[in-house]
Amino acid sequence: MDKLTQAVVSELLNLGADLVGVAPISRFANAPEGHRPTDFLPECKSVISIGLHIFQGMADVWGEYDQAGKTITPYLFYGYGLTNIESSRIVNRMAKLLEYKGYKTLCFMPTWVSSFYKYFEETLATNKVCAEFSHRHAAAAAGIVDLGWNGLGLSPEFGSMQRFNSILTSAELEPTPLYDGPALCRPKECGMKCVRTCPAQAFSETESQSLTIDGKTITYSTHDNIRCAYGIHAMVKGAGGRTHLEIPEGPGQPMHFYSELQGENIHMFDRGMLDNCFGIICGDFCGKCLHGCPSKKLTAKDMKDYDLSGRYTSLNRAILA
C-alpha cells in the first residue's frame, strides 16, 4: 500500500470507521448518468467508502411497542441516527485532512432525507426515489461489501449490520479489491426473509435488477422504495409504529405517500416522533430487511476458512501497525 493510502486508511480506522475501502473512478463507469462521482466532482479519481458497524443488540431488541422487552428506539438512534452522525463526522474530518494535503474532496449526506428534495420531480415521473450518490453501491465498488437480494450491503465481518458513508476525492489512492469470497446472501437458506417480512411489500421475490462493477455483475431484487417509505415512517402495520394505513395495490404512488404523510391518519404518537426527531437525528422505524437479515449467521461456517486478514477493518487494525 502506498504511503498516502496507508495514512488515509489508518486515520479512518482511528477515527472510528469499522470498514474501509477504496474504489477507483473506473468502477463507476456503469453508474447512472447524473449520479456518477465525476458528475459532482469532475476531478474525482477515487471514492473512499467507510462502514460503521451496528451492534447486534439493536437488532435483538427491535419490536412493536406492545411487545414486552422490545422497543424500536435503540435502533432509531444508535442503529440509524447516531451512526449517520458518526460516519459524517469521520468523513468530514478525513475530507478536510485530504484538502489540507492539496486534494479536492466532496461528501454527501448518509440519509434518504436529501433524496426527496433534489429529485422530487423525477420521483413523481418515475415512482422511484433516488439519491445524488449511492453510498451502498460505492461500498460494493470499494469491495467492503457485496449486495444482498434486498439490495443492502453485506460484509463478511458484520453481515447486514453496518451503514455507509463516502468521500469523493481527487487523490489517486490504491484501490481495494472487490469482494470475491463466499456468498453473503443465501436466499434459499433463509427463505427470502427480507421479502417475506417486509411490512410494505417493497421487494420482489422474482424480479431483479443488476449492475456491473469492473466486470463483476451483482443481481438483486427490484425494490419499490416508495412502498418502502411507508415502512420507514411507520405508516403500516408491522413497521414499529401505531399507524396502520393501507397502501394502494401496485407500485408505490408518491403523491399518495406524501399526502398520507402530511395527513390526519398518522397516529399522534408517531406524528410526534416524525415531527421532532426524524430524518437526520433518528430515522427508519422499520429496518426489518437490515436488522432481520441472517447473513452473518448463515455464512459463519464458511467464513472460518476465508482469509479476512487483508481487509481494512477495525477487527484487523493490527496489520496496519
Looking at residue 319, its pLDDT comes to: 54
Give dist(CA 236, CA 221) in Å, integer: 21
Task: Give residue 237's pLDDT band: very low, low, confident or very high (50, 70, 90).
Answer: very high
Looking at residue 283, its pLDDT comes to: 72
Which residue has 437526520 as its cell numbers? 280
pLDDT tops 80 at residue 116: no
Looking at residue 156, its pLDDT comes to: 97
73 Cβ partners below 8 Å, 6+ apart? none
pLDDT tops 80 at residue 38: yes
Percent of the chain with pLDDT over 90: 83
241 Cβ partners below 8 Å, 6+ apart? 65, 72, 233, 234, 235, 267, 269, 270, 273, 285
DSSP for 261-291, written as a single string? HTSS-S-HHHHHHHHHHBTTTB--S--HHHH
Question: 89-123 as b/e, with b when 16 or more CB fall inside 10 Å?
Answer: ebbeebbebbeeeebbbbbbbbbbebbeeebeeeb
pTM above 0.75, yes or no: yes
Q: Per-residue pLDDT tens for 285-316?
A: 999 999 999 999 999 999 999 999 999 999 98
